[in-house]
Amino acid sequence: MSTAERKAREKEALKLLILKGAKKLFLERGIEQTTIRNIADEIDYSVGTVYVYFKDKNAILHDLHSIGFEELGGYFKELFSIKDPMERLKKMGFTYIKFALENTEMYDLMFIVKAPMEFIETSEKEAWNEGVGTFGALKKTVEECMNKGHFKGNSLEPLSFMIWSMVHGMCSLEIRQRTKGVKFSNPDTILFDGYNEYLKIIEKL
Amino acid sequence: MSTAERKAREKEALKLLILKGAKKLFLERGIEQTTIRNIADEIDYSVGTVYVYFKDKNAILHDLHSIGFEELGGYFKELFSIKDPMERLKKMGFTYIKFALENTEMYDLMFIVKAPMEFIETSEKEAWNEGVGTFGALKKTVEECMNKGHFKGNSLEPLSFMIWSMVHGMCSLEIRQRTKGVKFSNPDTILFDGYNEYLKIIEKL
DNA sequence: TTATTTTTTGAACAGTGTTCATTTTTTGAA
DNA sequence: TTCAAAAAATGAACACTGTTCAAAAAATAA
Protein backbone atom coordinates (compact mmCIF):
# COMPACT_ATOMS: atom_id res chain seq x y z
CA MET A 1 0.00 0.00 0.00
CA SER A 2 1.18 3.49 -0.77
CA THR A 3 1.63 6.30 1.70
CA ALA A 4 -1.08 8.30 -0.07
CA GLU A 5 -3.52 5.42 0.44
CA ARG A 6 -2.68 5.13 4.11
CA LYS A 7 -3.04 8.89 4.57
CA ALA A 8 -6.43 8.82 2.91
CA ARG A 9 -7.50 6.03 5.26
CA GLU A 10 -6.18 7.93 8.28
CA LYS A 11 -8.05 11.03 7.20
CA GLU A 12 -11.24 9.01 6.90
CA ALA A 13 -10.60 7.45 10.30
CA LEU A 14 -10.21 10.83 12.00
CA LYS A 15 -13.38 12.06 10.32
CA LEU A 16 -15.22 9.07 11.75
CA LEU A 17 -13.60 9.67 15.15
CA ILE A 18 -14.95 13.22 15.17
CA LEU A 19 -18.42 11.98 14.20
CA LYS A 20 -18.27 9.28 16.87
CA GLY A 21 -17.31 11.84 19.51
CA ALA A 22 -20.01 14.20 18.33
CA LYS A 23 -22.66 11.48 18.46
CA LYS A 24 -21.61 10.45 21.96
CA LEU A 25 -22.00 14.03 23.21
CA PHE A 26 -25.29 14.46 21.35
CA LEU A 27 -26.78 11.45 23.09
CA GLU A 28 -25.35 12.51 26.45
CA ARG A 29 -26.30 16.17 26.52
CA GLY A 30 -28.32 16.95 23.41
CA ILE A 31 -27.48 18.53 20.08
CA GLU A 32 -27.90 22.14 21.15
CA GLN A 33 -25.73 21.69 24.23
CA THR A 34 -22.83 20.22 22.24
CA THR A 35 -20.15 22.61 20.99
CA ILE A 36 -17.22 22.16 18.63
CA ARG A 37 -14.91 22.66 21.60
CA ASN A 38 -16.69 19.84 23.45
CA ILE A 39 -16.22 17.54 20.49
CA ALA A 40 -12.54 18.45 20.11
CA ASP A 41 -11.97 17.86 23.85
CA GLU A 42 -13.81 14.54 23.73
CA ILE A 43 -11.43 13.11 21.12
CA ASP A 44 -8.29 14.94 22.37
CA TYR A 45 -7.83 17.15 19.33
CA SER A 46 -7.93 20.92 18.99
CA VAL A 47 -10.84 22.92 17.59
CA GLY A 48 -8.75 23.78 14.54
CA THR A 49 -8.39 20.12 13.60
CA VAL A 50 -12.17 19.66 13.57
CA TYR A 51 -12.35 22.47 11.00
CA VAL A 52 -9.72 20.77 8.84
CA TYR A 53 -12.02 17.77 8.48
CA PHE A 54 -15.41 19.53 8.40
CA LYS A 55 -16.33 22.76 6.67
CA ASP A 56 -18.53 23.88 9.57
CA LYS A 57 -20.93 22.62 12.24
CA ASN A 58 -23.67 22.02 9.67
CA ALA A 59 -21.36 19.59 7.85
CA ILE A 60 -20.94 17.54 11.05
CA LEU A 61 -24.68 17.63 11.68
CA HIS A 62 -25.37 16.53 8.12
CA ASP A 63 -22.99 13.57 8.27
CA LEU A 64 -24.47 12.56 11.60
CA HIS A 65 -27.98 12.81 10.15
CA SER A 66 -26.87 10.43 7.38
CA ILE A 67 -25.63 7.99 10.03
CA GLY A 68 -29.09 8.26 11.58
CA PHE A 69 -30.65 7.13 8.31
CA GLU A 70 -28.31 4.15 8.22
CA GLU A 71 -29.51 3.23 11.69
CA LEU A 72 -33.13 3.63 10.59
CA GLY A 73 -32.27 1.32 7.69
CA GLY A 74 -31.21 -1.26 10.28
CA TYR A 75 -34.62 -1.02 11.94
CA PHE A 76 -36.35 -1.34 8.54
CA LYS A 77 -34.28 -4.32 7.34
CA GLU A 78 -36.57 -7.03 8.67
CA LEU A 79 -39.60 -5.40 7.02
CA PHE A 80 -38.51 -6.45 3.53
CA SER A 81 -39.08 -10.10 4.32
CA ILE A 82 -42.78 -9.43 4.88
CA LYS A 83 -44.54 -10.40 1.67
CA ASP A 84 -48.02 -9.03 2.36
CA PRO A 85 -47.71 -5.28 1.60
CA MET A 86 -50.53 -4.28 3.97
CA GLU A 87 -48.86 -6.18 6.78
CA ARG A 88 -45.56 -4.55 5.86
CA LEU A 89 -47.09 -1.07 5.75
CA LYS A 90 -48.53 -1.51 9.25
CA LYS A 91 -45.25 -2.77 10.67
CA MET A 92 -43.32 0.00 8.90
CA GLY A 93 -45.14 2.74 10.77
CA PHE A 94 -44.75 0.87 14.02
CA THR A 95 -41.01 0.47 13.41
CA TYR A 96 -40.69 4.15 12.46
CA ILE A 97 -42.24 5.23 15.77
CA LYS A 98 -40.11 2.72 17.66
CA PHE A 99 -36.97 4.16 16.07
CA ALA A 100 -38.01 7.72 16.91
CA LEU A 101 -38.70 6.88 20.56
CA GLU A 102 -35.51 4.88 21.00
CA ASN A 103 -33.34 7.44 19.17
CA THR A 104 -34.99 10.78 19.91
CA GLU A 105 -31.88 12.91 19.42
CA MET A 106 -31.07 11.23 16.10
CA TYR A 107 -34.68 11.44 14.91
CA ASP A 108 -34.70 15.13 15.78
CA LEU A 109 -31.57 15.68 13.73
CA MET A 110 -32.93 13.67 10.79
CA PHE A 111 -36.40 15.18 10.53
CA ILE A 112 -36.63 18.37 12.61
CA VAL A 113 -33.31 20.21 12.98
CA LYS A 114 -32.67 22.68 10.15
CA ALA A 115 -28.88 22.23 9.90
CA PRO A 116 -28.74 19.10 7.69
CA MET A 117 -31.02 20.69 5.07
CA GLU A 118 -29.08 23.95 5.25
CA PHE A 119 -25.91 21.97 4.55
CA ILE A 120 -27.49 20.40 1.46
CA GLU A 121 -28.57 23.84 0.23
CA THR A 122 -25.16 25.44 0.68
CA SER A 123 -23.17 22.65 -0.94
CA GLU A 124 -23.03 21.07 -4.34
CA LYS A 125 -24.91 18.05 -2.97
CA GLU A 126 -27.68 17.24 -5.39
CA ALA A 127 -30.53 16.30 -3.07
CA TRP A 128 -31.72 14.85 0.23
CA ASN A 129 -31.00 11.27 -0.86
CA GLU A 130 -31.62 9.87 2.59
CA GLY A 131 -35.13 11.29 2.72
CA VAL A 132 -35.90 10.45 -0.89
CA GLY A 133 -34.87 6.84 -0.34
CA THR A 134 -36.83 6.37 2.86
CA PHE A 135 -39.97 7.96 1.45
CA GLY A 136 -39.49 5.81 -1.66
CA ALA A 137 -39.62 2.66 0.47
CA LEU A 138 -42.93 3.80 1.96
CA LYS A 139 -44.32 4.75 -1.44
CA LYS A 140 -43.38 1.39 -2.91
CA THR A 141 -45.20 -0.45 -0.13
CA VAL A 142 -48.30 1.73 -0.51
CA GLU A 143 -48.19 1.07 -4.25
CA GLU A 144 -48.16 -2.68 -3.67
CA CYS A 145 -51.14 -2.26 -1.36
CA MET A 146 -53.00 -0.40 -4.09
CA ASN A 147 -52.12 -3.08 -6.62
CA LYS A 148 -53.75 -5.60 -4.27
CA GLY A 149 -56.94 -3.54 -4.27
CA HIS A 150 -56.49 -1.40 -1.17
CA PHE A 151 -56.95 2.40 -0.92
CA LYS A 152 -59.47 2.58 -3.75
CA GLY A 153 -59.94 6.17 -4.87
CA ASN A 154 -56.70 7.40 -3.33
CA SER A 155 -53.59 8.72 -5.10
CA LEU A 156 -50.24 7.09 -4.38
CA GLU A 157 -47.94 10.01 -3.64
CA PRO A 158 -50.28 12.24 -1.61
CA LEU A 159 -51.54 9.23 0.34
CA SER A 160 -47.98 8.15 1.14
CA PHE A 161 -47.17 11.68 2.22
CA MET A 162 -50.22 11.68 4.47
CA ILE A 163 -49.11 8.46 6.15
CA TRP A 164 -45.55 9.74 6.61
CA SER A 165 -46.92 12.99 8.02
CA MET A 166 -49.05 11.16 10.52
CA VAL A 167 -46.25 9.11 12.03
CA HIS A 168 -43.81 12.01 11.84
CA GLY A 169 -46.37 14.29 13.44
CA MET A 170 -46.79 11.96 16.41
CA CYS A 171 -43.04 11.55 16.84
CA SER A 172 -42.20 15.23 16.50
CA LEU A 173 -44.97 16.37 18.86
CA GLU A 174 -43.57 13.91 21.39
CA ILE A 175 -39.93 14.87 20.88
CA ARG A 176 -40.60 18.59 20.96
CA GLN A 177 -42.59 18.25 24.21
CA ARG A 178 -46.06 19.04 22.85
CA THR A 179 -47.65 15.78 24.03
CA LYS A 180 -46.27 16.36 27.52
CA GLY A 181 -47.97 19.76 27.47
CA VAL A 182 -51.37 18.35 26.53
CA LYS A 183 -51.50 15.79 29.36
CA PHE A 184 -53.26 12.82 27.79
CA SER A 185 -55.21 10.24 29.81
CA ASN A 186 -52.45 7.78 29.06
CA PRO A 187 -49.38 9.83 28.14
CA ASP A 188 -46.95 6.90 28.08
CA THR A 189 -48.77 5.06 25.32
CA ILE A 190 -50.41 7.90 23.38
CA LEU A 191 -48.15 7.43 20.32
CA PHE A 192 -49.01 3.78 19.93
CA ASP A 193 -52.64 4.38 20.91
CA GLY A 194 -52.83 7.03 18.20
CA TYR A 195 -51.15 4.73 15.70
CA ASN A 196 -53.64 1.99 16.52
CA GLU A 197 -56.53 4.26 15.56
CA TYR A 198 -54.88 4.65 12.18
CA LEU A 199 -54.49 0.88 11.90
CA LYS A 200 -58.19 0.39 12.68
CA ILE A 201 -59.03 2.81 9.89
CA ILE A 202 -56.79 1.44 7.15
CA GLU A 203 -57.87 -2.10 7.92
CA LYS A 204 -61.18 -1.18 6.31
CA LEU A 205 -59.56 0.25 3.17
CA MET B 1 -55.98 57.65 38.00
CA SER B 2 -53.11 57.07 40.38
CA THR B 3 -49.43 57.19 39.48
CA ALA B 4 -49.11 53.53 40.37
CA GLU B 5 -51.85 52.67 37.90
CA ARG B 6 -50.25 54.68 35.13
CA LYS B 7 -46.87 53.09 35.83
CA ALA B 8 -48.41 49.64 35.66
CA ARG B 9 -49.94 50.52 32.30
CA GLU B 10 -46.64 51.90 31.02
CA LYS B 11 -44.85 48.75 32.11
CA GLU B 12 -47.38 46.65 30.23
CA ALA B 13 -47.01 48.90 27.18
CA LEU B 14 -43.25 48.52 27.11
CA LYS B 15 -43.58 44.78 27.45
CA LEU B 16 -45.87 44.77 24.44
CA LEU B 17 -43.48 47.06 22.57
CA ILE B 18 -40.66 44.57 23.12
CA LEU B 19 -42.88 41.71 21.91
CA LYS B 20 -43.95 43.73 18.89
CA GLY B 21 -40.33 44.48 17.99
CA ALA B 22 -39.36 40.86 18.51
CA LYS B 23 -42.19 39.63 16.28
CA LYS B 24 -41.26 42.07 13.54
CA LEU B 25 -37.68 40.82 13.52
CA PHE B 26 -38.80 37.19 13.70
CA LEU B 27 -40.91 37.61 10.58
CA GLU B 28 -38.17 39.57 8.82
CA ARG B 29 -35.14 37.39 9.54
CA GLY B 30 -36.30 34.32 11.43
CA ILE B 31 -36.30 33.34 15.09
CA GLU B 32 -32.75 32.00 15.19
CA GLN B 33 -31.31 35.07 13.52
CA THR B 34 -32.92 37.46 16.00
CA THR B 35 -30.88 38.47 19.06
CA ILE B 36 -31.78 40.39 22.19
CA ARG B 37 -29.53 43.21 20.98
CA ASN B 38 -31.47 43.32 17.69
CA ILE B 39 -34.74 43.61 19.58
CA ALA B 40 -33.37 46.33 21.88
CA ASP B 41 -32.05 48.28 18.89
CA GLU B 42 -35.35 47.89 17.04
CA ILE B 43 -37.31 49.63 19.80
CA ASP B 44 -34.53 52.06 20.83
CA TYR B 45 -33.93 50.66 24.28
CA SER B 46 -30.83 49.05 25.77
CA VAL B 47 -30.35 45.31 26.26
CA GLY B 48 -30.58 45.78 30.00
CA THR B 49 -34.11 47.13 29.72
CA VAL B 50 -35.27 44.03 27.86
CA TYR B 51 -34.06 41.96 30.81
CA VAL B 52 -36.02 44.12 33.24
CA TYR B 53 -39.23 43.16 31.48
CA PHE B 54 -38.40 39.56 30.57
CA LYS B 55 -36.57 36.98 32.66
CA ASP B 56 -34.73 35.64 29.63
CA LYS B 57 -35.06 34.91 25.91
CA ASN B 58 -37.29 31.90 26.57
CA ALA B 59 -39.78 34.21 28.30
CA ILE B 60 -40.00 36.40 25.19
CA LEU B 61 -40.37 33.34 22.98
CA HIS B 62 -43.09 31.98 25.24
CA ASP B 63 -45.12 35.19 25.22
CA LEU B 64 -44.77 35.38 21.46
CA HIS B 65 -45.90 31.77 21.13
CA SER B 66 -49.01 32.72 23.13
CA ILE B 67 -49.67 35.57 20.71
CA GLY B 68 -49.41 32.99 17.92
CA PHE B 69 -52.19 30.96 19.54
CA GLU B 70 -54.36 34.07 19.70
CA GLU B 71 -53.81 34.51 15.98
CA LEU B 72 -54.67 30.87 15.36
CA GLY B 73 -57.83 31.51 17.36
CA GLY B 74 -58.69 34.24 14.87
CA TYR B 75 -58.39 31.75 12.02
CA PHE B 76 -60.56 29.25 13.92
CA LYS B 77 -63.27 31.73 14.86
CA GLU B 78 -65.48 31.19 11.82
CA LEU B 79 -65.42 27.42 12.34
CA PHE B 80 -67.69 27.59 15.37
CA SER B 81 -70.61 28.72 13.25
CA ILE B 82 -70.50 25.44 11.33
CA LYS B 83 -73.16 23.23 12.84
CA ASP B 84 -72.35 19.90 11.14
CA PRO B 85 -69.38 18.53 13.17
CA MET B 86 -68.01 16.51 10.25
CA GLU B 87 -68.01 19.59 8.05
CA ARG B 88 -66.37 21.55 10.87
CA LEU B 89 -63.72 18.89 11.41
CA LYS B 90 -62.78 18.97 7.72
CA LYS B 91 -62.56 22.75 7.63
CA MET B 92 -60.61 22.81 10.88
CA GLY B 93 -57.74 20.82 9.42
CA PHE B 94 -57.78 22.93 6.31
CA THR B 95 -57.69 26.12 8.40
CA TYR B 96 -54.87 24.72 10.53
CA ILE B 97 -52.72 24.08 7.45
CA LYS B 98 -53.60 27.48 6.02
CA PHE B 99 -52.47 29.15 9.25
CA ALA B 100 -49.21 27.20 9.26
CA LEU B 101 -48.39 28.12 5.65
CA GLU B 102 -49.30 31.78 6.09
CA ASN B 103 -47.48 32.11 9.44
CA THR B 104 -44.57 29.69 9.20
CA GLU B 105 -42.35 31.42 11.73
CA MET B 106 -45.15 31.65 14.28
CA TYR B 107 -46.23 28.05 13.69
CA ASP B 108 -42.64 26.94 14.16
CA LEU B 109 -42.49 28.77 17.48
CA MET B 110 -45.83 27.38 18.63
CA PHE B 111 -45.33 23.71 17.74
CA ILE B 112 -41.67 23.00 16.98
CA VAL B 113 -39.25 25.32 18.81
CA LYS B 114 -38.27 24.03 22.25
CA ALA B 115 -38.03 27.39 24.04
CA PRO B 116 -41.73 27.95 24.90
CA MET B 117 -42.00 24.52 26.55
CA GLU B 118 -38.72 25.05 28.38
CA PHE B 119 -40.12 28.29 29.73
CA ILE B 120 -43.21 26.48 31.03
CA GLU B 121 -41.01 23.85 32.69
CA THR B 122 -38.74 26.35 34.41
CA SER B 123 -41.49 28.59 35.73
CA GLU B 124 -44.39 28.17 38.10
CA LYS B 125 -46.74 28.12 35.10
CA GLU B 126 -49.11 25.24 35.57
CA ALA B 127 -49.43 23.89 32.03
CA TRP B 128 -49.42 24.48 28.29
CA ASN B 129 -52.86 26.07 28.33
CA GLU B 130 -52.63 27.20 24.71
CA GLY B 131 -52.03 23.66 23.48
CA VAL B 132 -54.56 22.11 25.83
CA GLY B 133 -57.24 24.53 24.66
CA THR B 134 -56.57 24.07 20.96
CA PHE B 135 -56.45 20.29 21.22
CA GLY B 136 -59.64 20.49 23.29
CA ALA B 137 -61.42 22.24 20.42
CA LEU B 138 -60.41 19.43 18.06
CA LYS B 139 -61.41 16.74 20.54
CA LYS B 140 -64.81 18.34 21.06
CA THR B 141 -65.49 18.35 17.33
CA VAL B 142 -64.38 14.73 16.94
CA GLU B 143 -66.63 13.84 19.87
CA GLU B 144 -69.63 15.44 18.17
CA CYS B 145 -68.79 13.46 15.04
CA MET B 146 -68.77 10.25 17.05
CA ASN B 147 -72.09 11.18 18.66
CA LYS B 148 -73.51 11.47 15.15
CA GLY B 149 -72.36 7.94 14.37
CA HIS B 150 -69.01 8.56 12.73
CA PHE B 151 -65.70 6.84 13.55
CA LYS B 152 -67.32 3.63 14.81
CA GLY B 153 -64.80 1.53 16.69
CA ASN B 154 -62.41 4.39 17.33
CA SER B 155 -61.46 6.02 20.66
CA LEU B 156 -61.88 9.77 21.05
CA GLU B 157 -58.56 10.92 22.45
CA PRO B 158 -56.16 8.74 20.44
CA LEU B 159 -58.13 9.43 17.25
CA SER B 160 -58.00 13.17 17.87
CA PHE B 161 -54.29 12.92 18.51
CA MET B 162 -53.86 11.01 15.27
CA ILE B 163 -55.67 13.74 13.32
CA TRP B 164 -53.66 16.51 14.99
CA SER B 165 -50.46 14.57 14.29
CA MET B 166 -51.32 14.23 10.62
CA VAL B 167 -51.85 17.93 9.98
CA HIS B 168 -48.95 18.89 12.23
CA GLY B 169 -46.74 16.35 10.49
CA MET B 170 -47.48 17.83 7.08
CA CYS B 171 -46.90 21.40 8.30
CA SER B 172 -43.70 20.63 10.19
CA LEU B 173 -42.18 18.59 7.35
CA GLU B 174 -42.88 21.56 5.09
CA ILE B 175 -41.57 24.19 7.49
CA ARG B 176 -38.42 22.26 8.35
CA GLN B 177 -37.64 21.73 4.65
CA ARG B 178 -38.26 17.98 4.44
CA THR B 179 -40.85 18.20 1.66
CA LYS B 180 -38.48 20.33 -0.40
CA GLY B 181 -35.91 17.59 0.00
CA VAL B 182 -38.24 14.86 -1.22
CA LYS B 183 -39.16 16.61 -4.51
CA PHE B 184 -42.79 15.66 -5.00
CA SER B 185 -44.48 15.59 -8.40
CA ASN B 186 -46.42 18.67 -7.35
CA PRO B 187 -44.47 20.26 -4.49
CA ASP B 188 -46.56 23.43 -4.33
CA THR B 189 -49.78 21.62 -3.49
CA ILE B 190 -48.53 18.52 -1.69
CA LEU B 191 -49.88 19.63 1.71
CA PHE B 192 -53.41 20.11 0.43
CA ASP B 193 -53.14 17.06 -1.83
CA GLY B 194 -52.13 15.01 1.19
CA TYR B 195 -54.92 16.50 3.27
CA ASN B 196 -57.42 15.63 0.54
CA GLU B 197 -56.46 11.97 0.76
CA TYR B 198 -57.33 12.13 4.45
CA LEU B 199 -60.66 13.76 3.60
CA LYS B 200 -61.47 11.01 1.10
CA ILE B 201 -60.80 8.45 3.82
CA ILE B 202 -62.79 9.99 6.66
CA GLU B 203 -65.74 10.61 4.35
CA LYS B 204 -66.30 6.87 4.49
CA LEU B 205 -66.18 6.68 8.29
C1' DT C 1 -35.76 72.22 46.19
C1' DT C 2 -34.23 67.87 47.25
C1' DA C 3 -34.08 63.14 49.08
C1' DT C 4 -35.99 58.83 47.66
C1' DT C 5 -37.55 55.57 44.50
C1' DT C 6 -37.91 53.79 39.90
C1' DT C 7 -36.18 53.10 35.45
C1' DT C 8 -32.59 52.72 32.16
C1' DT C 9 -28.10 51.95 30.87
C1' DG C 10 -23.98 49.65 28.77
C1' DA C 11 -19.60 47.72 30.10
C1' DA C 12 -18.22 43.27 31.49
C1' DC C 13 -18.42 38.09 31.63
C1' DA C 14 -18.48 33.60 29.97
C1' DG C 15 -19.77 31.38 26.35
C1' DT C 16 -20.41 30.37 20.95
C1' DG C 17 -18.71 29.23 15.78
C1' DT C 18 -14.96 30.22 12.90
C1' DT C 19 -10.30 31.63 10.97
C1' DC C 20 -5.50 31.34 10.05
C1' DA C 21 -0.56 32.37 11.06
C1' DT C 22 2.37 29.53 13.51
C1' DT C 23 4.24 25.20 15.23
C1' DT C 24 4.78 20.34 15.07
C1' DT C 25 5.03 16.13 12.70
C1' DT C 26 5.77 13.30 8.79
C1' DT C 27 7.78 12.36 4.52
C1' DG C 28 11.27 10.72 1.20
C1' DA C 29 15.39 12.17 -1.52
C1' DA C 30 20.25 12.87 -0.77
C1' DT D 1 21.16 9.45 8.93
C1' DT D 2 20.19 14.12 7.57
C1' DC D 3 17.24 17.64 6.45
C1' DA D 4 14.36 20.61 3.34
C1' DA D 5 9.66 20.32 1.82
C1' DA D 6 4.92 18.98 2.55
C1' DA D 7 1.20 17.83 5.51
C1' DA D 8 -1.23 18.01 9.77
C1' DA D 9 -2.37 20.00 14.08
C1' DT D 10 -2.64 23.90 16.94
C1' DG D 11 -4.76 27.63 19.83
C1' DA D 12 -4.94 32.59 20.14
C1' DA D 13 -7.86 35.93 18.20
C1' DC D 14 -12.26 37.72 16.17
C1' DA D 15 -16.95 38.82 16.08
C1' DC D 16 -20.71 37.29 17.85
C1' DT D 17 -24.22 35.36 21.56
C1' DG D 18 -27.29 35.57 26.22
C1' DT D 19 -27.00 37.49 30.62
C1' DT D 20 -25.75 40.35 34.82
C1' DC D 21 -25.41 44.29 37.67
C1' DA D 22 -23.17 48.52 39.53
C1' DA D 23 -23.76 52.98 38.08
C1' DA D 24 -26.28 56.80 35.94
C1' DA D 25 -30.46 59.07 34.69
C1' DA D 26 -35.19 60.13 35.31
C1' DA D 27 -39.38 60.42 37.87
C1' DT D 28 -41.64 61.03 42.07
C1' DA D 29 -43.43 63.22 46.12
C1' DA D 30 -42.43 65.51 50.60
Judge whether B159 lies within some domain: yes
Counting residues of chain A whose pLDDT is more than 90, the rounded percentage is 92
CA-based nearest residue to A142, from A155, A123, A124: A155
Window A:131-150, CB contacts with B under 8 Å? 131-132, 135
Q: Distance from B10 to chain A by nearest Cα, in Å?
A: 32
* Same-domain check for residues A15 and A89: no
Judge whether B62 lies within some domain: no
Strand nucleotide closest to residue A54 (CA to C1') = C18
Counting residues of chain B whose pLDDT is more than 90, the rounded percentage is 92
pLDDT of residue A125: 80
Is the per-residue pLDDT at B159 higher than 90? Answer: yes
Q: Is the CB of A6 under 7 A from strand D?
A: no
Strand nucleotide closest to residue B54 (CA to C1') = D19
pLDDT of residue B121: 95
Distance CA A50 to C1' D12 in A? 16
Q: What is the mean pLDDT of chain B?
A: 96
* Same-domain check for residues A79 and A133: yes
Determine whether the interchain pair A166/B161 forms a contact, defined as Cβ–Cβ distance below 8 Å. Answer: no
Residue pair A187/A180 in contact by the 8 Å Cβ criterion:
yes
pLDDT of residue B6: 82
* Same-domain check for residues B124 and B94: yes
Q: Is the CB of B9 under 7 A from strand D?
A: no
Counting residues of chain A whose pLDDT is more than 70, the rounded percentage is 100
Nearest-by-CA chain B residue for A113: B176
Q: Is the CB of A45 under 7 A from strand D?
A: yes
pLDDT of residue A8: 85
* Same-domain check for residues B113 and B142: yes
Give, rounded to a whole angstrom, the gap between the first and last alpha carbons of chain B.
60
Is the per-residue pLDDT at A1 higher than 90? Answer: no
pLDDT tens digits, one per residue of A163-174: 999 999 999 999
Task: Report d(CA B50, CA B52) in Å as an integer.
Answer: 5
Q: What is the mean pLDDT of chain A?
A: 96
pLDDT tens digits, one per residue of B49-105: 999 999 999 999 999 999 999 999 999 999 999 999 999 999 999 999 999 999 999
Tell me the pLDDT band of B154, cut-offs 50, 70 and 90. very high
**Least CB–CB distance from B157: residue in A170, A184, A205:** A184
Determine whether the interchain pair B176/A111 forms a contact, defined as Cβ–Cβ distance below 8 Å. Answer: yes
Is the per-residue pLDDT at A74 higher than 90? Answer: yes
How much is the average pLDDT of B123-139?
94
* Same-domain check for residues A131 and A163: yes
Is the per-residue pLDDT at A2 higher than 80? Answer: no
Nearest-by-CA chain A residue for B166: A166
Q: Is the CB of B35 under 7 A from strand C?
A: no
Domain count, chain A: 2
Is the per-residue pLDDT at A3 higher than 90? Answer: no
Judge whether B60 lies within some domain: no
CATH of the domain at A30: 1.10.10.60
CA-based nearest residue to A105, from A71, A59, A137, A58: A71
CATH of the domain at A169: 1.10.357.10
Least confident range of A30-34, A153-157, B6-10, B136-140: B6-10
How much is the average pLDDT of A63-89?
98
* Same-domain check for residues A92 and A167: yes
Is the per-residue pLDDT at B1 higher than 70? Answer: no
Judge whether B35 lies within some domain: yes
* Same-domain check for residues A35 and A125: no
Chain C positions with a protein C-beta closer than 7 Å: 6-12, 15-21, 27-28
pLDDT of residue B5: 83
* Same-domain check for residues B175 and B151: yes
pLDDT of residue B126: 78
Count the neighbouring beta carbons within 10 Å of the beta carbon of residue A52: 12
Q: What is the DSSP string of B61-92?
A: HHHHHHHHHHHHHHHHGGGGG--SHHHHHHHH
Window B:31-50, CB contacts with A under 8 Å? 32
Q: Which domain holds residue B37?
A: 1-54
Tell me the pLDDT band of B8, cut-offs 50, 70 and 90. confident
CA-based nearest residue to B161, from A98, A183, A115: A183
Determine whether the interchain pair B181/A155 forms a contact, defined as Cβ–Cβ distance below 8 Å. Answer: no
User: Measured over all CA atoms, what is the biggest interatomic distance in chain A, rounded to whole angstroms?
Assistant: 65
* Same-domain check for residues A69 and A96: yes
Is the per-residue pLDDT at A190 higher than 80? Answer: yes
* Same-domain check for residues B179 and B132: yes
Is the per-residue pLDDT at B118 higher than 80? Answer: yes
User: In the listed set A54, A79, A99, which residue is the last one of a domain according to the structure?
Assistant: A54
* Same-domain check for residues B190 and B114: yes
H-only helix segments in A103-184: 104-111, 115-121, 129-147, 156-175, 178-182
Determine whether the interchain pair A158/B128 forms a contact, defined as Cβ–Cβ distance below 8 Å. Answer: no
Residues 132-161 of A with CB under 7 A from strand C: none
* Same-domain check for residues A14 and A94: no
